[in-house]
């Protein structure tokens, strides 16, 4: 049976409600109903077997299955090019079980260097969001993290907690609610990079109702949001 793959700029997350695709090139999410996931299990390499909910879904005929594949191919969410595509293996991310700033004994002093690095991060992120595609932004963050791996300092919870508190003390001066989670998480990632700290930038989705979220996390520690909030989302992309 023919097998399909996921293009390199596309990511997928599965749940009991079906599947959600993230197309970075279009900056767009697309949902697939759980009735259709059985077809994808059989035809897409790496698709999680026995997707929750798909076992109870009626089998689709060849015509219906072909229509689903044709739509996803036309949308650029699947590819038959083995030289280009990747498998759809699910993302492995340790669930967040704590938040870095749950206990702050004393507010840290904000120095001029903090203000300068925050401002530069905010300016860079605004430039990227205005002029770059999400695909380019993600590639930039990923490549910087890889290139800086040897220079990265060991994760120090106390130091990182101080930087997080300083960041959120400065944030209200700069941010509005528009595009908030994406801008906040990306700006925090950029702010951390100035101090040699490179945690994960996580994109997550949920269904019923659909929502997308972005946050910063190190191992099981949520850095930009509450752990109980981000656990409501299934990771679809981790950088």
Is 41 in the same domain as 142? no
Q: How much is the average pLDDT of 64-79?
A: 89
Please tell me the pTM assigned to this model. 0.89
- Domain assignment of residue 85, yes or no: no
Domain of residue 46, residue span: 10-74
pLDDT at 66: 81
CA 38 to chain centre: 25
Q: d(Cα 185, Cα 175) in Å, to the nearest integer?
A: 12
Q: Is the dihedral of CA 51, 78, 208, 176 positive or negative?
A: positive
CA 198 to chain centre: 15
- Domain assignment of residue 81, yes or no: no
Beta strand residue intervals within 41-176, DSSP E: 98-99
Model pLDDT for residues 27-65, shown as the tens digit of each residue: 999 998 887 787 888 889 988 876 544 445 555 444 477
Reported as a pLDDT band with limits 50, 70 and 90, residue 179 is: low
Q: Which residues contact 71 (CB under 8 A, 6 or more apart)?
A: none
Looking at per-residue confidence, does 106 or 185 come out higher? 185
Model pLDDT for residues 54-63, shown as the tens digit of each residue: 445 555 444 4
The SS3 of residue 48 is coil
Q: d(Cα 131, Cα 4) in Å, to the nearest integer?
A: 32
Q: How many domains does the chain have?
A: 2
pLDDT at 95: 94
Q: Which residues pair with 237 in a beta bridge?
A: 203
Is 122 in the same domain as 36? no
Q: Which tokens in the block code for residue 24?
A: 């970075």
Q: What Rg do the C-alpha atoms of the chain give, in angstroms?
A: 20
Q: Which residues contact 35 (CB under 8 A, 6 or more apart)?
A: 18, 57, 58, 60
**Among 14, 125, 143, 21, which residue's Cα sits nearest to residue 73?**
21
Is 203 in the same domain as 123? yes
Is 143 in the same domain as 207? yes
pLDDT at 58: 52
């Amino acid at each position: 049976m023919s097998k399909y793959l996921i293009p390199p700029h596309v990511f997928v997350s599965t749940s009991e409600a079906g599947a959600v695709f993230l197309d970075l090139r279009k900056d767009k999410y697309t949902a697939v109903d759980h009735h259709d996931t059985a077809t994808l299990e059989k035809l897409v390499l790496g698709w999680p077997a026995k997707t929750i909910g798909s076992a109870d879904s009626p089998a689709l005929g060849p015509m219906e299955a072909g229509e689903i594949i044709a739509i996803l191919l036309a949308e650029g969410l699947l590819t038959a090019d083995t030289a280009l595509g990747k498998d759809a293996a699910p993302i492995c991310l340790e669930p967040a079980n704590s938040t870095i700033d749950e206990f702050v004994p004393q507010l840290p002093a904000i120095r001029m260097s903090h203000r300068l690095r925050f401002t530069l991060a905010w300016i860079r992120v605004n430039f990227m969001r205005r002029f770059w595609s999400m695909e380019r932004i993600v590639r930039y963050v990923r490549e910087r993290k890889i290139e800086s791996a040897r220079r990265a300092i060991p994760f120090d919870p106390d130091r990182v907690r101080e930087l997080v508190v300083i960041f959120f003390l400065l944030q209200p001066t700069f941010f509005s609610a528009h595009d908030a989670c994406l801008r906040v998480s990306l700006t925090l990632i950029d702010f951390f990079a100035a101090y040699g700290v490179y945690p994960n930038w996580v994109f997550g989705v949920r269904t019923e109702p659909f929502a997308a979220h972005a946050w910063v996390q190190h191992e099981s520690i949520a850095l930009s949001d509450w752990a109980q909030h981000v656990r409501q989302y299934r990771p679809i992309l981790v950088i």
